[in-house]
A = this chain, B = another copy of it.
């Protein structure tokens, strides 16, 4: 399962991952896929984002450090990006407003070069 995840190049939904595993002959249930994804996510092995429709997408990233993603709406292909300026901006905004325990969600969605045509 974790092995199968590592081979996927982009963000995929639980159902897509399930279908892919079945296609490869692995007789796994959708429940187990969700369960493994949750564990892997808690362990920090995989990242989870939500697409504009609200569906969760999963991917094993190269970096284990804090980062964000630029993801293709069409194929899920994703670029890992980091931005010190964004982190600093978030901290500054939070401090100025007197908010505590502030967390941020930063996601970029677009069309990758292959799907820009």
Specify which chain B residues have a CB less than 8 angstroms from the CB of A104 in the assembled complex. Answer: 106-109
Q: A50-B54, A54-B54, A86-B86 are in contact. Are A102 and B93 (CB under 8 A)?
A: no
Q: Is A113's CB under 8 angstroms from B89's CB? A: no
The 21 listed contacts between A and B (C-beta, < 8 Å) are A50-B50, A52-B105, A70-B97, A70-B102, A72-B99, A73-B101, A81-B93, A83-B89, A86-B89, A93-B108, A98-B113, A98-B116, A99-B116, A100-B116, A101-B116, A102-B108, A102-B110, A104-B106, A104-B108, A105-B108, A106-B106
With A72-B99, A79-B99 given, name 17 new contacts (CB 8 A).
Answer: A50-B50, A54-B54, A70-B99, A70-B102, A79-B93, A79-B97, A81-B93, A81-B97, A85-B85, A94-B108, A99-B110, A99-B112, A102-B108, A103-B109, A103-B110, A105-B106, A105-B108
